Structure 1
Amino acid sequence: MLFKKLFGINNFTLYKSFSTLYDQYATLGFEKQLVFAEKVENKDWNIDLNAGTITFNNELSYPVQLLGSFSFAEKMWVWSWANQATKIPRKLLETAKEFRAYGKKRKIGELTRGSLKLAMTDIHSFGLVALGMFGGDGYYVGNFGEGALLVTIREPKSPAALSEEEEHLRILSVYPQFIAMFEIKAQQKVLKNYLSAKKYKFTEETDTHLIARKNGREIIGIFDEKGVLLQLKG
């Protein structure tokens, strides 16, 4: 899959206190990222912190928010608001600071400590959740040799809106891809969060069934006793 090929994702180790936030927002972020990844595949990147933009192949340019950076040698993540070595313009720290404020309110240490020991794959979880929580159209992990930068991106122009039927069908495609790619234990909970974000109303919810409707369209999720998806239809 392009998403995995481009960003090298396997499984997140995920910290327990962050996992609830991940279950709530990551699928929505993944949906956006699938679209964005298609646009920048195999393209060289360059970031201009003063301009607040990232450019791909001198063709595509996007405004960014800088979430943080990861050191390959130390396996250390540093939030952008805690980075004392690089003079980062304040306008690029807004999303990272929103994360920190949320973490302080909910006592999520991964969002409030300036630096963290993480696996490289873990930082993608911050990108996915940021897209789901705070908006944006994609994120990018830029390898600069000694480490990598994580930025979120907004399209200069709003993407063309999908029809209701297209939105409905996209859910039936995105959710199975998401749980197949990542190790998701609370699969029914994750589907419920995703459908809630899409403004679906639930008409049935049991240990093994989840049924939701929106404007006459229906999605049915069937799960086993352990909450693992058996079938998704609509």
Structure 2
Amino acid sequence: MSFDDLFAQHVASAMARQVALADLIGERNWSVDLSAGYATFGDDLRFAIQLLGTESHRDSTWLWAWANAESNLPPALLHLGGWLRDYGEQAGVAELTERSFPLERADGAKLALVASGLTGRPYYRGPYEGGALFFHLEGVPETPVAPERVITVLSQVIQTWPLPHRTVAGSFLTQQGWTLDESGGRMSARHPDGSTIEITFDEQGRIAQFGGQIKPR
């Protein structure tokens, strides 16, 4: 499987998770205590972390945390990264197994979104002088994407990245518990609460129109 395929399958659910995290954190300042293994947001939020890696803006490269031997990172914060590396080896996804590579190939946000899709955990990007640290947050409440938010998430994703729309939509809706029925250039989806979404694709497989009915809450 290619990294681009994996990204298309998981980006929408991961983006929805990031939107929910942003709603939770708001404008709080952040800090990380690597020795304790926690990230703190403001005065009232604290979550255990697992390190993903770092972006260097000096040479425009990504470095996985498990490969950052010079920083003597606590091994307890590298378990999730090791799991992702093992997954990459089994699935043949080089970006999850190579210790470092140029950001033009895959930047921290794309890597963290794939990791979020695979693990069900949101990530945080902590900027610092010369780069940024990416880490997963443990224990953040996970809630399914509300039906009324599905189209917003899909629209945001397809406007941000050039991706196969049918793969993105089908994967996202399935992951969120919708039942799909595909026929030709249409995709119909039904949510357990009775909400429906109709997606029409053009000849190039791009989303041309949304329809359906969302049940009021």
Fold agreement, TM-score > 0.5: yes
User: After superposition, where does 1:58-97 map in structure 2 within 5 Å?
Assistant: 58-97=43-82
**Which of these residues, 191, 201, 204, is aligned with residue 223 of structure 1?**
201
* Structure 2 residues without counterparts, runs of 5 or longer: 213-217
Query: Within 5 Å, which residues of 2 pair with 1:61-140?
Result: 61-119=46-104, 122-136=107-121, 138-140=122-124
3-state SS of 1:148 partner: strand
Residue 54 in 1 paired to residue 39 in 2? yes
Q: Secondary structure at the match of 1:21?
A: helix
Select between 86-95 and 20-29 the one with higher mean Cα deviation.
Answer: 86-95
Partner of 2:127: 143
TM normalised by structure 2 equals 0.88
Alignment-derived partner of residue 215 in structure 2: none
Q: In terms of mean alpha carbon deviation, does 22-31 or 49-58 score higher?
A: 49-58
1:34–1:146 distance in 2 versus 1, CA, 3 Å = same
- Aligned-partner Cα distance in 2 for 1:199–1:92: 31
Residue matched to 1:191: 169
Contact 1:28 1:132 in 2 (8 A): yes
- Corresponding position: 1:35 with 2:14: no
Cα distance in 1 for residues equivalent to 2:49 and 2:188 = 37
Instruction: Indicate yes or no: 2:191 matched with 1:214.
Output: yes
Unaligned runs of 5+ in 1: 1-15
CA contact (8 A) 1:25 1:129 kept: yes
Once the two structures are TM-superposed, the CA of residue 119 in structure 1 deviates from its matched residue by 4.0
The answer to whether the 8 Å contact 2:37/2:77 transfers is: yes
Separation (CA, whole Å) in 2 of partners of 1:155 and 1:100: 22
Deviations 1:6-39 (A, max 9, x none): xxxxxxxxxx931000011111000010111233
On the 8 A contact 1:69/1:77 being kept in 2, the answer is yes
**AA matched with 1:151:** F
Q: Conserved in 1, the CA contact under 8 Å of 2:8 and 2:163?
A: no
Identity score, percent: 30
Q: Which amino acid aligns with 1:174?
A: V
Residues 17, 108 of structure 1: 8 Å contact kept: yes
TM-score w.r.t. length of structure 1: 0.82
CA–CA separation in structure 2 for the residues paired with 1:141 and 1:133 = 18
Q: CA deviation at 1:52?
A: 1.0
Matched, 1:169 2:148: yes
Higher alpha-carbon deviation: 60-69 or 121-130: 121-130
